[in-house]
Structures are given as C-alpha cells and as structure tokens.
C-alpha cells in the first residue's frame, strides 16, 4: 500500500537524490501523519469518553501530539527545501535535523508525562469499564499505528531521513503504549487486579529512553559528525582513479543537510607534470563529484617530487618508521631542506583520534627514530587529525 501511495502522490519518486524529490517525500509523510494521527485521536477520545478511561484518553492526547509532530515534520521539510539566500549561503537543509530534534523532545516530554500519570494510577487505581467494542477500537488503533511505523520507516530509508526515522520510532512506541492499555484492560477484567498503572509505567519509561536516544541522534548532525568510513573510502577510491593523481590528504567534509555536502581535499600530483594538465585533472574531478555524488568538492593541488632518488629513499625510510609505530598513522607533504650542519625532513602525519600517544609524545618518538637513523637529520612534523580510509595507509 505504501508503494502505491508513493507512486500516486510523489512526483518523480525514483529520483531520491534530488533535493526537490526529498522535499516531496517529506511533505507527503507529514500530511499522511497529520491525517492518520488525527483519525486515531478521534477513535481513542471516543473510546475514552464512552468507557470512562483516563488511560485511553491520555493515549488519545498522545496521538493528537503526534499529529502536531507531523505538522512540525511537514514545516521542517518545507523550510529545508528552500534555496540558499544571502543570510544562509549553504541553504536550509539542516532544518530537517532541527525538526527531528523537536519531534524527539516531544517524545521525551510525552514519556515523562506518561510516567507521572502511570505512577498516579498505581497510587490511586481507577476502575474502568470493559466491552467488546473497547477491544475492537484499541485493536484497530494498534493496526493503524503498525502501518504508520512501517510507512515512516520505509520512507525514512528511501530518503535517508533522521526525522522520519525518529517519527517511526515514535509510532512504534505508540503501539506499545496502546497494547499496554489493551492488555491491562483484559487482565483487569479477568483477574479483577488493576494493572493499568504498572504496565503504563514500564511503557512510559521505555518511551523516555527512546526519546533520550533520539535526541542524541538528532543533535549529533547539528554538532558536526564525522563522515562514514564508506563515504571516505568512496572519495579516496574515486579521486585516486584519475590518472595523474598520486595521492591525497587533508580530506574535510561538512554536512549542511542530508543532501547538502561540501568537501575539501589536497591532491598530490607529480611536480614534473605540466601544471595545465594537473589543473585540468583537478577541474574534472571537482565537476564529476558534483555530477555523480552531489558533493561540492574543492581541491588544493600539491606538487610532489617523484624523480629524486635520494628524497624518495628518505621518504620511504620515514614512512617505515611511522608504520612501525602504527599502521593507522599516515604521512604526506614530505620534503627535504638541505643545510650546512643538518637537513630538515619536513612532513605532516595524520593521526586517528584514538591514538595511544598524544601529539607531542608522538612527535618526540618519530624525531628520535629519525635522528637515530642519521644524526644529520632533524624532523619538522605537523600533526593532523583527519579522516583516513580503511584500505589505504
């Protein structure tokens, strides 16, 4: 059914990398959420009034707040689709993260409120009425929420949206909440012991924990997350596939939204290669990254001497010294400045954040090993912390 709705209401639905198509998916999901949650509110508020059940009424209010969350999602996708302007030169795509954060706060707030209500129900149990109609209404509500959960999760996966993933988790929590109300009603009817407050407390705590996790997951992209290993590996492989590029380093990636990425990198080219040829290669790479991956890539060109046997030999020796310390540390921008009393070996090292040595300690270790190799050499080292591909050292 979800696939049919997508084909009917999302124009150009296959082109999910397009920002306008993502916006259409988000708006569609928001409108479906508003309508379905308001329907659930009507079903449950009717049941709550008919059977004098505070827990069902509270569950109805929960669905009304879900409808409000869908409004937030709809507005978030609408704003995130706005083009760049003078005040926001990188666009508005991060608004999707902010709307996801708002949804997470709503989930957390509802969970806390449900904990309070459930505990009060334990202290002061309230007998409720029971009928087959109550079972039918709650069962229908659970089925609608199950469809909602699958609907949001599917669209979230299609467009890789944290906001819709958060909304799908909220729908899953609602399934547990309504199931708890239904289970408590049946057990209370069969045993005469009112479990409503106890089950409600367990479910509410689960919702609170989910809200905390979702809040953390949506804050991380706003703070600035490291790119995935898969993306770093893809960028390295693609750049190194171009003839005339012999290495790269200092890769930096900025995410201004799910479909808005900017990156910069230093590409090493042979110093003896014609500068116009190197410049043409760099232009082609930048253009291809925008066309193929949607990444705005800026490249700094680094010429590297490749035809000097002595420098190449020193570079290999220093590389071996570094690899003996850790295979996770890489080197770039190696050059030699020859002096009267000593020669400086100048280079950068890229160190993972979880390295067991701090920067100063690592520089001392490498410098000592280089001087032990030849007392006439001095190391001038700059330590970088950047993304390193998993298959290239």
pLDDT at 149 over 80: yes
Q: What integer pLDDT is reported at residue 393 of this predicted model?
A: 45
- Tell me: the pLDDT tens digits for 35-48? 998 999 899 888 87
CATH 3.30.70.1350 residue spans of the chain? 229-384
DSSP calls for 376-388:
TEEEEEEEE----
Q: What integer pLDDT is reported at residue 245 of this predicted model?
A: 92
Average pLDDT over residues 103-115: 81
Map tokens 């547990």 to a residue. Answer: 176
What's the fold here for domain 229-384? Alpha-Beta Plaits (3.30.70)
CATH 1.20.1510.10 residue spans of the chain? 2-223
Q: What integer pLDDT is reported at residue 387 of this predicted model?
A: 67
Q: What integer pLDDT is reported at residue 362 of this predicted model?
A: 93
Q: Which CATH number fits domain 2-223: 3.40.50.1110, 3.10.20.30, 1.20.1510.10, 3.30.70.520?
A: 1.20.1510.10
**What confidence tier does 391 reach under pLDDT thresholds 50, 70, 90?**
low
- What are the φ and ψ backbone dihedral angles of 147, each rounded to 5 degrees? -65, -40
Q: What number of other Cβ atoms are within 10 A of residue 15's Cβ?
A: 12
Question: Where does the chain have alpha helices with state H?
Answer: 2-9, 19-50, 54-80, 95-123, 132-159, 162-191, 196-223, 229-240, 275-293, 309-325, 359-373
Q: In the chain, what percentage of residues exceed pLDDT 70? A: 95
User: Which of the residue ranges 223-227, 304-308, 357-361 would you say has the lowest mean pLDDT?
Assistant: 223-227
Q: Are 112 and 210 in contact (CB under 8 A)?
A: no
| Residue 210 to residue 222: CA distance in whole angstroms | 19
| Residue 135 to residue 50: CA distance in whole angstroms | 13
Instruction: Dig out the tokens for 101 from the structure.
Output: 């954060």
Average pLDDT over residues 260-287: 91
| Residue 245 to residue 379: CA distance in whole angstroms | 26
Q: What integer pLDDT is reported at residue 282 of this predicted model?
A: 94
**What confidence tier does 283 reach under pLDDT thresholds 50, 70, 90?**
very high
pLDDT at 184 over 70: yes
| Residue 306 to residue 61: CA distance in whole angstroms | 70
Average pLDDT over residues 359-383: 91
Q: What integer pLDDT is reported at residue 390 of this predicted model?
A: 60
Average pLDDT over residues 43-59: 78
**What confidence tier does 169 reach under pLDDT thresholds 50, 70, 90?**
confident
Q: What is the dihedral of CA 5, 11, 14, 19, to 10 degrees?
A: -120
pLDDT at 155 over 90: yes
**What confidence tier does 299 reach under pLDDT thresholds 50, 70, 90?**
very high
Provide the whole-model pTM: 0.60
Instruction: Dig out the tokens for 216 from the structure.
Output: 């953390």
């Amino acid at each position: 059914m979800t696939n049919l709705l997508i084909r009917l209401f999302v124009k150009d639905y296959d082109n999910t990398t397009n920002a306008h198509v993502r916006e259409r998916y988000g708006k569609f999901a928001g409108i479906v959420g508003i309508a379905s949650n308001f329907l659930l509110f009507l079903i449950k508020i009717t049941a709550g009034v008919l059977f004098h059940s505070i827990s069902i009424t509270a569950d109805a209010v929960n669905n009304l707040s879900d409808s409000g969350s869908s409004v937030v999602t709809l507005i978030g996708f609408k704003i995130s689709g706005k083009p760049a302007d003078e005040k926001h030169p990188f666009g508005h795509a991060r608004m999707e993260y902010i709307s996801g954060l708002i949804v997470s706060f709503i989930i957390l707030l509802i969970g806390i409120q449900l904990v309070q209500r459930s505990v009060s129900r334990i202290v002061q149990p309230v007998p409720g009425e029971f009928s087959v109609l109550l079972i039918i209404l709650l069962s229908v509500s659970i089925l609608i929420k199950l469809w909602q959960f699958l609907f949001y999760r599917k669209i979230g996966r299609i467009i890789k949206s944290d906001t819709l993933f958060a909304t799908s988790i909220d729908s899953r929590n609602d399934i547990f909440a309504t199931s708890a109300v239904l289970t408590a009603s049946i057990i209370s009817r069969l045993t005469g012991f009112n479990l409503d407050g106890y089950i409600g407390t367990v479910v509410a705590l689960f919702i609170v924990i989910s809200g905390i996790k979702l809040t953390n997951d949506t804050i991380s992209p706003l703070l600035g997350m490291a790119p995935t290993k898969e993306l770093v590996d893809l960028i390295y492989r693609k750049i190194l596939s171009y003839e005339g590029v012999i290495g790269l380093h200092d890769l930096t990636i900025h995410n201004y939204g799910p479909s808005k990425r900017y990156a910069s990198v230093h590409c090493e080219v042979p110093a003896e290669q014609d500068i116009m040829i190197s410049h043409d290669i760099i232009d082609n790479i930048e253009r291809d990254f925008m066309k193929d991956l949607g990444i705005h890539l800026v490249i700094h060109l680094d010429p590297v001497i490749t035809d000097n046997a002595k420098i190449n030999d020193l570079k290999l020796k220093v590389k071996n010294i570094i690899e003996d310390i850790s295979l996770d540390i890489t080197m770039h921008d190696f050059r030699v400045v020859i002096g009267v009393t000593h020669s400086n070996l100048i280079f950068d090292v890229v160190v993972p954040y979880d390295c067991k040595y701090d920067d100063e300690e690592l520089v001392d270790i490498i410098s000592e090993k280089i001087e032990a190799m030849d007392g006439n050499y001095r190391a001038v080292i700059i330590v970088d912390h950047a993304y390193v591909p998993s298959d290239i050292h």
